[in-house]
Amino acid sequence: MTNQETSPISPEAARILEESITSVREALTGLKYGNVSLTVHEGRVVQIDVTEKKRLKPN
């Protein structure tokens, strides 16, 4: 097993990462059934799609 060195990220990159994580958390909050899809471009989350499914009770 090899150790991979991780380069420190800039404060701006850390802020953007935290904003992305917060946005994903908000998308998941309250979602009971469905999908959350992330679009990443050049290593950054640029779009979050949320598809919520509603389950109907049979009569």
Element (H, E) at 50: strand 44-52
Query: Is the model more confident about 20 or about 55?
Result: 20
Q: Are 34 and 26 in contact (CB under 8 A)?
A: no
Whole-model pTM: value is 0.71
How does pLDDT run across 1-49, given as a tens digit for each residue?
555 567 788 999 899 999 999 999 999 998 999 999 999 999 899 999 9
The rounded radius of gyration (Å) of the Cα atoms in the chain is 17
Residue located via tokens 């990462």: 17
